[in-house]
Structure 1
Amino acid sequence: MKRFALIFLFTFLLSPKSYSQVCGGGILTFNIYTLNGEDVKEFDYEIFPVSRELLQKNYYDKLTIKKYKDCPEYSLFKDVQKSGSIIGKVFVDQIIDNNDPKLNAKLQELLDTSAIAQKGTITSTLFFSTRENQSFPIVLKISNGDREVYILGNYFGNCDREASLLWGKGYKIK
């Protein structure tokens, strides 16, 4: 018994630090709410894969102050990981990569898991299946008629959470 206790103690002391998972996965519920009495019956959506290299080079590096480049708590990085961040079309064109077969295959796998298509029409809600340690940035394009909004987010990663787009004369993600 003493020998077992010593072996356990040494194993415990010599083992590397380990981290447990919080949830393993969940559902991200993406809601669209209208403002100002605007009556919208449906929205078109499209999901684009984002290249990590292009995202870093053409978005984060251009918008992040040097002292925050390695700080995951910087609001730009946190917003993308939580509810997403509205970005301009000029950046969208610089960070999406529809020609990378590995990126497209990964996106298709995640879409299949979530049982959603890469593009379609919704009335107000999209559901993404998430994996806790998954980090796969996407651009979610939401449009209605002649108005479009592009949202950069990690919607296939983390735990249960909700992201909302307030659709009106202006837009806000929360």
Structure 2
Amino acid sequence: MKRFALIFLFTFLLSPKIYSQRCGGGILTFNIYTLNGEDIKEFDYEIFPVSKELLQKNLYEKVVNEQNMNNSDYPLFKSVETSGRIIGKVFVDQIIDNNNPKLNAKLQELLDTSAITQKGTITSTLLFSTRENQSFPIVLKISNGDREVYILGNYFGNCDREASLVWGDKVLKLE
């Protein structure tokens, strides 16, 4: 019995700190709302894999000052992890990597888990299956023919949450 107690104590003292999970995973519900009775029947969407290295070099290092680079509460980083952030096409072209087989395979695995395709049409809602500790940034392109918006987000990571795009003639807003 003493031997068991000593082994348990020894194991406990040498074990690294362990943190419990909050949820394990969930669903990110991405909704599109129109304003003022605007009647848009459907939206096209496309999902692009983002290279973390290119994201760091070609977006974060250009728009975030050095002292905030490791601050997870910095608004840009926080929005990417929650509802996403609308970004310009110039940045999109510099951070997506369609030619990386590992990124493409990982994206396909996540799409399969979510039962969605990389490209398609929706009326208002897209559902992403999430894993709490997953960090896989994507660019979600939403268009309706004459207008496109690019959203950078970690939509396959974290817990249950909702992101909403408000789509109007003169307004585009992500919440």
TM-score when normalising by structure 2: 0.95
Q: Give the structure 2 partner of residue 105 of structure 1.
A: 105
Q: Give the structure 2 partner of residue 118 of structure 1.
A: 118
AA at the equivalent of 1:13: L
AA at the equivalent of 1:58: N
Alignment length, in residue pairs? Answer: 174
Show CA shifts across 1:4-33 (max 9, x none).
333323322221111111111111100001
Instruction: Name the CA distance, whole Å, in 1 between partners of 2:124 and 2:16.
Output: 46
The 5-angstrom pairing of residues 127-142 of structure 1 reads 127-142=127-142
Instruction: Name the CA distance, whole Å, in 2 between partners of 1:108 and 1:158.
Output: 18
Q: Give the structure 1 partner of residue 72 of structure 2.
A: 72
Instruction: Name the CA distance, whole Å, in 2 between partners of 1:164 and 1:157.
Output: 17
Correspondence 1:159 to 2:166? no
Runs of 4+ in 1 over 4 A off after TM superposition: none
Q: CA deviation at 1:3?
A: 4.0
SS at match of 1:107: helix
AA at the equivalent of 2:103: L
TM-align CA RMSD:
1.1
Q: Give the structure 2 partner of residue 173 of structure 1.
A: 174
Q: Give the structure 1 partner of residue 20 of structure 2.
A: 20
Q: Which runs of 5+ in 1 are unaligned?
A: none
Q: Which runs of 5+ in 2 are unaligned?
A: none
Instruction: Name the CA distance, whole Å, in 2 between partners of 1:23 and 1:98.
Output: 31
TM-score when normalising by structure 1: 0.96
